[in-house]
Chains A and B, each alone.
Chain A
Amino acid sequence: MKRQPPLSRRTFIKLTATVAAGAALASCSPRQSPATPTDAASAGIKPTLPPSPTSGSVPAGTSPSTPDQANPTETSANPEPSATTSPAYLAVVHGPDPAAITRAAIEALGGMAAFVSAGYDVIIKPNICTDYHPPEYATTTNPTVVGTLVTMCLEAGARRVRVMDYPFGGTATSAYATSGIGDAVEAAGGEMHVMIPSKYKFVDIPQGRDITKVQIYPDILETDLLINVPIAKDHGSTRLTLGGKNLMGVILDRGMMHLNLDQRIADLTSLVRPPLTVIDAVRILTANGPTGGDLSDVRQLDTVIASRDVVAADAYATTLFGLTGSDIGYIQASADMGLGTMDLASINIQEINLG
């Protein structure tokens, strides 16, 4: 008197086959076309319509000295830096309160409402490179700057604000904790997101000059708004790590990037095209970066730089170190690709002092 098993072998195999076939079908059919920069741009940039110097295709090989810098001056109504009348192309704000200067910088660009519409899903990408040091060491982005941006996005009606990075030293969770960003973001109502290795996918870089494919975290390309929030600091191979370099946190294989770092960062920038870059220069690291660890290498500048143009923001930030944009290979390479301008004289810069 053998008990009949609840499922006969045949039924079991049939069921399994059906489910497998269903799964196979499902995984084939709704696959989206690989995200291209135009997708990313239309997803991220269109509603905000920045006075981009790069809209439209730029012929390859445009010389940096004669770029399409007519665009920014044309699009900004008033080329003179004036504090209130028109949105700035680039805002530089000084002041002792990181929250206040972050707010002022975004206001100068036209306010967060120019970037965030109701229901937006926002990603903020700070530099959380290691779990080694607290924020005073200027190795990771200032937590107050990040927290303030989270608050502003939510105030502007964002549905969700996620903050993420993929540290090279320590784990994401430990680095989120040490950097103080975890606490600041959660207090502001945002969420810290741990980037999931199995989610990365290969995406073509149509404009890429050296690399034409990269394994990238898809959320970065699919989000409604990406805010790139680097900290300005010293870096061995590129001299400075700023907005362009900060984007390396969204890809998996960084070893290969180093083989031709400057051009490859520019290629990556052409794919990601962050619609808003906010450079934290509350404290900057002047030597032994990007890892830091020596307080005597840290300088307190109480400054935040913001722009829709990552190249311009980076170029301005180099001046804090006594350099210019052309001193930094990836800024030059990005400008060469027409991803932005590093000619600071040609753009509307608003400098605000909150004393």
Chain B
Amino acid sequence: MSWKSWRRLRQAVQILSFISYIVLIFAVVQKRVAPALVDIFFRLDPFSALGAMLASRQWIAKFALALVTVGATLIIGRVWCGWICPLGSLLEWVSFKKARKRAMAISPHWRLVKYFLLATSLALALFGGLTLLVFDPIAIITRTLTTAILPGLFYAVNSVETVLYPVSFLSPALDGFEGVVRGTVIPVEQPAFSQNLAIAALFFGLIALNLLANRFWCRYLCPLGALLGLLSKVALFRPVIGTACTQCTRCAVVCKPGAIDTDPEDFHIMPSECTVCLDCMANCKPGDIRFRLRLKPAQIEEFDISRRQALGALASGAAGVLLLGTDLRLRQDNPWRIRPPGVPEEDTFLATCIRCSQCMKICPTTALQPALTQAGMAGLWTPLVVPRVGYCDYGCTACGQVCPSGAIPLLTLDKKRTMVIGKASIDRNRCLPWASGMQCIVCEEMCPTPQKAIRLEEAEVIDSSGRTSTVKRPSVLRDLCIGCGICEHYCPLEGDAAIRVYDA
């Protein structure tokens, strides 16, 4: 097989991988059951895996698959980046003509940033913090799809339909379309997420950086790429330019991550930067770039992280843990810091959650929202239950099914139904029967526990027209309440509900 065919194969794998990533994304939008391996891209990700295991100080069996990626990298280098990674593929496909020229103006020393980010993230993890996993590439693309792109897409479909449905001759076609997609691909409830703009800005910002250099993110910033790059330095087989080289730099021109050092004194491919895309091999005129067995580690590059820099990163990680850990928002009890069902201690949760946002995507009611500062900056983009947005469905265990790190435990339905995520309490100054003598008690109707956790008592009230009538007034039975929040969600009061769930 020629290098050109190998490159074709790589491109095919890349497209297939991207398509399967997207299919898996759509497979678990607001569903109650997740197919097995729906989180496979996270489970293959050694950066998240290492971080979560370091921080939570446990072996996480689900992450064993990450060893496959590590193994492949130790054999042949960053195949993950060039063949599998959905963000990497996207950044490869979005390329700008002038990017190569502009990249030449950027000092290769900037490549250090990704190693520093990796070292700091892992140092932070070592001391129990996973905040920097927000920069995991799979998490970035998944979070953006979850909170920004998919809701936007669904909103577009719904808006177009709202316009088209009144056109009577179109409705059979729309009904046919709906019959196929609604409830399978497009959820019934329109999702909406807080901070979608910020999350989208990060993602599209990373793509825009491609204007400056091809695969800018992969070259300079990606902590996962940095980890795999370090492993590639000791990979068994590395791309090597042979003696037939005329230094025509054709390889350097086509190399998207810019992994070829064109210094005439030392013309070589840097294994740590190479994404095994095979473009150089397919384009080499003399055809003398090939993989060679190497047992000694690759040469040190000028931008490699030095011992001093590594210690600096370690120190930053430690300082980060201290600063994040003394964030008042984290230390204080926060009534709105309601975690998904079965989550144990807050500290353990923050040390296990990889910020992947899959729980938010699968939650059928979109109750799970990315945190901003509710758990301190340490808890940025971790999931919170926001009952006014969505309740925790009494018939659902979906979040635990998709959590790759087990931060949200996988529970049986019976077990989940006993998990207390908070406690509801009623504001009698706002509740309609209490404050205004009006009939309501939606909360009691919605309460899903077999013995209702909301008790009704009848009271005589005088209404606005002076007539005496009887209303039922709700009160919460705290020992029965599991904090699912369906009462708060459906409370018909405008704005904030008169019954609210507080963290318990």
Binding site for B on A (CB under 8 A): 23, 26-27, 30-32, 130-133, 168-175, 178, 191, 193-199, 201, 235-237, 254-256, 258-261, 288, 290-294, 297
Closest chain B residue to A24, Cβ basis: B163
Mostly helix, strand, loop or mixed at chain B's interface? loop
Chain B contacts of A171 at CB under 8 A? 30-32, 183, 187-189, 364
Q: Give B346-375 as 1s and 0s: 1 = Cβ < 8 Å from A's Cβ atoms.
A: 000000000000000000110000000000
Chain B contacts of A260 at CB under 8 A? 439
Is B108 part of the binding interface, using a Cβ–Cβ cutoff of 8 Å?
no
Given contacts A131-B393, A255-B490, 14 further A-B contacts (CB under 8 A): A169-B448, A171-B187, A173-B31, A173-B188, A174-B364, A193-B179, A194-B178, A199-B161, A259-B439, A288-B451, A288-B452, A291-B446, A291-B447, A292-B450
> In the complex, are the beta carbons of A197 and B166 less than 8 A apart?
no
Chain B contacts of A170 at CB under 8 A? 32, 364-365, 393-396
CA distance A172 to B364 in the complex (A): 10
> In the complex, are the beta carbons of A197 and B364 less than 8 A apart?
no
Interface size class of B (residues with CB under 8 A): 35 or more
Chain B contacts of A174 at CB under 8 A? 31-32, 364, 393, 395-396
Chain B contacts of A130 at CB under 8 A? 394-395, 448
CA distance A193 to B364 in the complex (A): 18
Closest chain A residue to B165, Cβ basis: A199
Instruction: Determine which of A23, A32, A258, A297 lies in contact with B492 in the assembled complex, contact meaning CB atoms within 8 Å.
Output: A258
> In the complex, are the beta carbons of B178 and A196 less than 8 A apart?
yes
Q: A237-B444, A288-B451 given as contacts; is B490 within 8 A of A168 (CB)?
A: yes
Q: A27-B163, A32-B168 given as contacts; is B445 within 8 A of A169 (CB)?
A: no
Q: A170-B364, A178-B395 given as contacts; is B439 within 8 A of A237 (CB)?
A: yes
Is B53 part of the binding interface, using a Cβ–Cβ cutoff of 8 Å?
no
Interface residues of B in 439-498 (CB under 8 A from A): 439-442, 444-452, 456, 472, 486, 490-492
Q: A172-B183, A198-B162 given as contacts; is B188 within 8 A of A236 (CB)?
A: no
CA distance A255 to B489 in the complex (A): 10
Could you count the A-B residue pairs with CB atoms below 8 Å apart for me: how many are there? 139
> In the complex, are the beta carbons of B32 and A131 less than 8 A apart?
yes
Chain B contacts of A201 at CB under 8 A? 165-166
CA distance A112 to B335 in the complex (A): 56
> In the complex, are the beta carbons of B445 and A236 less than 8 A apart?
yes
Chain B contacts of A237 at CB under 8 A? 439-442, 444-445, 472
Chain A contacts of B183 at CB under 8 A? 171-173, 194
Chain B contacts of A173 at CB under 8 A? 31-32, 183-184, 188
Q: A30-B167, A178-B395, A237-B441 given as contacts; is B32 within 8 A of A196 (CB)?
A: no
Interface residues of B in 367-395 (CB under 8 A from A): 391, 393-395
Is B430 part of the binding interface, using a Cβ–Cβ cutoff of 8 Å?
no
Is B190 part of the binding interface, using a Cβ–Cβ cutoff of 8 Å?
yes
